[in-house]
Amino acid sequence: MMKAKKWAALGLSLALTVSLMTGCGSADNVGVTGSNDTSPVDTQGTEENGGTKDDGMTFNGVDISEHVDLKMYLLGDRAADFDEIYGEINKILEEKLNCSISVDFLSWGEHETKYSMLFSSQEDFDLIFTASSWGHYEQTVSLGGFYPLSQEFIQTYAPDIWDVVPEMAWNQAEIDGQIYMVPNYQNEFGQDVIAVRGDLMEKYEISDIASWEDLTNFYMTIAEQEDGMYASQGGPWYQYFQMEGMNRVGGTPKNGELILFHTQDPGNLEFTYALDWDGFADYCKQVKEMADAGCWSRDILSDKADRQEGFLNGNVASMIWNMGSCRFYGKEANKANPDWNVTICDPVSSQSKQVNSYINNGVAINANSNNKERAMMVLNELYTNQDVNDMTRFGIEGKHWEAVGENQFKQLDQSGYGVDNNCNWGWMNAAIKRTEYIEDRTALDDKFDELDAIWNNNVKTEHIYDGFNFNTANVTTQVAAVEAAIGSYYDPLVNGLVNDVDTSIAELKAALDNAGIQDILAELEAQAAEYVAAKQ
Partner 1 sequence: MNNKGIKGFCKKLYKYRIFLLMLSPAIIYTLVFSYYPMTGIVMAFKKYNYAGGIWGSPWNGLDNFQFFFKSGQAGTVTRNTVLYNLLFIAVNLILQISVAVLLTEIKSKHYRKLTQSIMFLPYFISWVIVGVMAFNILSSDYGFMNRLIESLGGTRISFYTTPNLWPVILTLFNAWKSVGYGSVMYLAAIMGIDTSMYEAAAIDGANVFQRIFKITIPMIMPTTIILLLLSIGGIFKGNFDMFYNLVGTNGLLYGTTDVIDTLTFRALITSNDFGMSAAMGLYQSVLCFITVVIVNKLVGRYDKEYTLF
Partner 2 sequence: MANRSHIGKVKMGPDRIILNIIAYAFCGFVALVCFIPFLMIVSGSLSSESAIMRNGFSLLPQEFSLEAYKTVFKEPLVVVRAYATTILLTISGTILGLLLQTMTAYVLSRKDFEWRNVFSFFFYFTTLFSGGLVPYYILINSTLNLKNNYLAMLLPLMFSVYNLLIMKSYITALPDSLIEAAKIDGCGEFRTLFKVVIPLIKPALATVGLFIALAYWNDWYNAMLYINKPNMYPLQYFLYQQVNNIEAYKKLIANNVGSAVVSSISLPTQTLKMALTIVVTGPIILLYPFVQKYFVQGITIGAVKG
271-273: strand order across its sheet: 247-248, 259-261, 271-273
Is residue 4 a contact residue for partner 2 (CB under 8 A)? yes
Query: Across-strand partners of 259?
Result: 273
- Select the binding partner of residue 125 from partner 1, partner 2, none (C-beta < 5 to 8 A, by kind): none
Contact 245, 231 (CB under 8 A): no
Counting contacts by CB under 8 A, is residue 307 touching partner 2?
Answer: yes
DSSP string for 339-398: GG-EEEE-TTTTSPBPBPPGGGSEEEEBTT-S-HHHHHHHHHHHHH-HHHHHHHHH-SBT
Site membership for partner 2, residue 18 (CB under 8 A):
yes
Q: By CB under 8 A, name the one of 52, 65, 352, 421 that touches partner 2.
A: 421
Residue 472 lies near partner 1 (rule: CB under 8 A): yes
Q: Which does 77 bind (CB under 5 to 8 A by kind): partner 2, partner 1, none?
A: partner 2
Q: Would you count residue 516 as binding partner 1 (CB under 8 A)? A: yes
309 belongs to the binding site for partner 2 (CB under 8 A): yes
d(CA 464, CA 448): 30
Q: How far is the CB of 49 from partner 2 (least distance, A)?
A: 30
If one asks whether residue 61 binds partner 2 (CB under 8 A), the answer comes out as no
Which option in partner 2, partner 1, none does residue 329 bind, with CB closer than 5 to 8 A by kind?
Answer: partner 2
In this chain, which of 67, 71, 111, 136 binds partner 1, going by CB under 8 A? 136
Find the binding residues for partner 2 in span 172-211 (CB under 8 A). Answer: 186, 188-190, 192
Beta bridge partners of 277: none
- Picked from partner 1, partner 2, none, the partner binding residue 492 (CB below 5 to 8 A depending on kind) is partner 1
Q: Considering the complex, what minimum distance in angstroms separates the CB of residue 430 from partner 1?
A: 29
Cα distances from 385 to residues 74, 81, 93, 154, 409, in angstroms, run: 19, 21, 11, 16, 17
Residue 151 binding target from partner 1, partner 2, none, CB below 5 to 8 Å by type: none
Alpha carbons 358 and 426: distance in angstroms, whole number:
10
State phi, psi for 22 to the nearest 5 degrees. Answer: -65, -35
Nearest in space to 469 (alpha carbons), one of 365, 372, 362: 362
Q: Does 144 bind partner 1 (CB under 8 A)?
A: yes
Helix residue ranges per DSSP H, 147-277: 151-157, 159-164, 167-173, 198-203, 212-225, 237-243
DSSP letter at 460? P
Minimum separation from the CB atom of position 300 to partner 1 (A): 9
> Which CB sits closer to partner 2, 106 or 475?
106
- Report the interface residues with partner 1, using CB under 8 A: 116, 119-120, 122, 133, 136, 138-140, 142-145, 253, 297-299, 301-304, 367, 472, 476-485, 487-492, 497, 511, 514-516
